[in-house]
Amino acid sequence: MASSFKAKVQKMGGFLSGMVMPNIGALIAWGIITALFIPTGYFPNEKMNELVGPTLKFLIPLLFGYTGGHTVYGRRGAVAGTLATIGVVIGSEATMMIGGMVMGPLGAWIIKQFDKLLEGRVKPGLEMLVDNFSMGIIGALMMIAGFSVITPLFAGITNILTVGVNFAIDHSILPFTPIFVVPGQVLFLNNAINHGIFTPLAIEQAAQTGKSILYLVEANGGNWAGLVLAFMCFGKGMAKKSAPGAAIIHIIGGIGEVSFPYALIKPITILGPICGSIAALFILVPDHGRWRSSSSISWINHCLGNYVTERKAVRQPGRICHSRDRIVRYRCILP
């Protein structure tokens, strides 16, 4: 029984890998544009920045849906998968990459079953008409279903994650919040978690103390960098070949979305980012690790920026400061 379960998990991982791996290049392309041209990027450009949002919201999920649909039922399945995916993309404010990975194969499977039902029952000469109209009708129904269902579904998931995070914060067990945060990141709800849960609480805390560790819970990308580097060193096939590019974009550009799909390739690897984030918070909580603001640039550059700010504060007269040698390990006490 255990071997059967393991085989099913591996099969699922292989299926997810088949959807993710062909589209890693698109994620890296988006990551490069984001790292370069967003307002806090290396070469801010308002016009080029217009590419960032639509690419992440529309193109990437549709590619996932198309690839998943093609895997299930060829080109016809790819079209059905894309139609099903666009409904969930438009119906949700969050990035729907996971929606594409679910709706793409589902849409292809539905059209495949419909074609099997009509096999041998369509009169000669009417095949094209039946194929096109069946795709149109079923595709429209899937778009409506995705649009109507996905918003409350993901709102429910976000609410569950919010309850878990708030419970950990209220009971002073902040280091265990990654148990809820990391699975949300794999579902590409990272922005909803960071800006919808942690940032408002961190702003309130920073207004009182000048800094907050809550900025570091979701935005600290060290755990995901470790996962991508592990695939780069120990992975196989396309995952190993694509990991170096993803690592560069993630570490230098701060684009975590290029790293999340690697946990879908081999689902058990999600334990690595969870444990890594828990370990980091266990170090940072007693050691007063804090950020002054939310990060929209590379997390490592943001850490360095905070460190440099603190080093400059040490030299300012009239202030009693203490600064240690490790990044994000600092305190500054005003007299």
Q: What is the pLDDT of residues 283-323, one digit of tens each?
A: 877 655 555 555 555 555 555 555 444 444 444 444 333 33
Output the average pLDDT for the chain.
80
Maximum separation of any 2 CA atoms in the chain, in Å? 91
- Say if residues 194 and 184 touch (Cβ distance below 8 Å): no
For the chain, the straight-line distance linking the first and the last C-alpha, in angstroms and rounded, comes to 66
Read off the pLDDT band of 97 (50, 70, 90): confident
pLDDT of residue 301: 53
Q: Is the pLDDT of residue 28 over 60?
A: yes
pLDDT value of residue 133: 94
Q: Is the per-residue pLDDT at 144 higher than 90?
A: yes
**Per-residue confidence band for 171, with pLDDT thresholds at 50, 70 and 90:** confident
- Whether the pLDDT of residue 150 is over 80: the answer is no
How far apart are the C-alpha atoms of 228 and 240, rounded to whole Å? 9
pLDDT top residue among 275 and 27: 275
Higher pLDDT, 238 or 206: 238
Between CA 171 and CA 146 the distance in angstroms is 37
What is residue 49's predicted lDDT score, i.e. its pLDDT? 92
pTM above 0.85, yes or no: no
The partner residues of 212 in beta bridges, in order of sequence, read 291
Binned at pLDDT 50, 70 and 90, residue 101 comes out as: confident
Whole-number Å distance between alpha carbons of 104 and 107: 5
268-283 mean pLDDT: 90
Give the residue-averaged pLDDT of 142-165. 81
Tally the C-alpha atoms within 13 A of residue 217's C-alpha that lie toward its C-beta: 30
